[in-house]
Amino acid sequence: MSRSGLYVILLSLFLFSCKDKPKHLPFLQLETTERVVDGKTVIDSTFRTIPAFKLLNQDSAVVTEKNFDGTIYVADFFFTSCPTICPTMHRNLLKVYQKYKGNPEVKLASHTIDVKYDTPSRMKAYATKLGVEGTQWEYLWGSRDEIYALAERNYLVAAQEDKNAPGGFVHQGYLVLVDKEKRIRGAYDGTQDKEVEQLMKDMDVLLAEY
């Protein structure tokens, strides 16, 4: 075999292996700081993580960040009477639930932003109507301040009351992917089928990291 022929084979194998190799998901909240050590500038990188929280789920059981230890999970913010994007978001998120149902390494976390109306029992009825069983998909309720702080400061999802908006609230329809160390690794438009398909592909990539 000629040297050029061998080169073509090796190049083909290299490209094939690179194509099949899972990509590494980025960190969306990577923060860098600079400090001077012995006259040299040193850059430190840190990853922001989802902080401790204490909420109630659809069974009125207390749920904290520890309930998500050892799992990757998808978080979103919604309200059960939403007349706009929420029904589409949760039809799409149901696809995620069905794909990973029974997988102990995967959870979902839907936080209501209508804390007055969406009591745990009302969210239980909502979950049952969707066909959700158990607590792999947690529907979470808490005080207004805690929920809104989690949305905007930690999951980076805008959510606010607006009496002029349909349903009385304005919020974004992102599905936020969080890894086992509570770091955000992706955000996807939950109203778009292609985005949700990409979310599931990225979840597989993330699971393969562990």
Residues of the binding site for Cu cation: 82, 86, 171
Tell me the binding residues.
82, 86, 171
User: Which of the 8 DSSP states describes residue 166?
Assistant: G
Spatial contact of 138 and 127, defined as CB atoms under 8 Å apart: no
The closest alpha carbon to 74, from 208, 210, 198, belongs to 198
Q: For residues 196 and 92, is the Cβ–Cβ distance under 8 A?
A: yes
DSSP string, 81-125: T-SSSHHHHHHHHHHHHHHHTT-TTEEEEEEES-TTT--HHHHHH
Helices (H), the chain: 3-20, 86-100, 120-130, 144-149, 193-208
